[in-house]
Amino acid sequence: MIGAKLPDNIGQIVEVIGSPSTFGINEAGHVWHVRAISGRKSLIYRYRNGKIFTRSEGPVPDRRLRPVSGLPDEDEIWICDFEPADSTAG
C-alpha cells in the first residue's frame, strides 16, 4: 500500500480478493477488498468517530495500491518436464 492515511498501513503487501459489494466506487474512486499478506498481516482502519481497529481483510481504494513487480504470473511459469534429446542416439 502507498500513501495511506494511516502511516502503519504504508508498505503493507496485500492480495486483492475482489470488489466489495458495500463499497465499489465512491468518493475515493474504485475500492478493492484486500487481505494483508505481509508484516503484521493486519490493516489499520479508523472509524469516522476516531476509533481505531485492525482487520486482516478490508476495503482499500485503488489509488492506494501499486502492483508488486518481479513476481511471475502463473501463466509465465514454465516447468521443464522433459529429458533433453540425446545427440549421440541415432
60, β-bridge pairs = 32
Give the pLDDT band of residue 4 (cuts 50, 70, 90): confident
Examine residue 33 and state whether it is found in any structural domain, yes or no: yes
Q: What are phi and psi of 74, to 5 degrees?
A: -60, -35
Query: Of residues 42 and 71, which shows the higher confidence score?
Result: 42
Lowest mean pLDDT among 4-8, 20-24, 65-69, 78-82: 78-82
Secondary structure element (H or E) that encloses residue 83, with its range: none
Examine residue 80 and state whether it is found in any structural domain, yes or no: no
Q: What is the pTM of this model?
A: 0.64
Examine residue 74 and state whether it is found in any structural domain, yes or no: no
Count: domains in the chain:
1
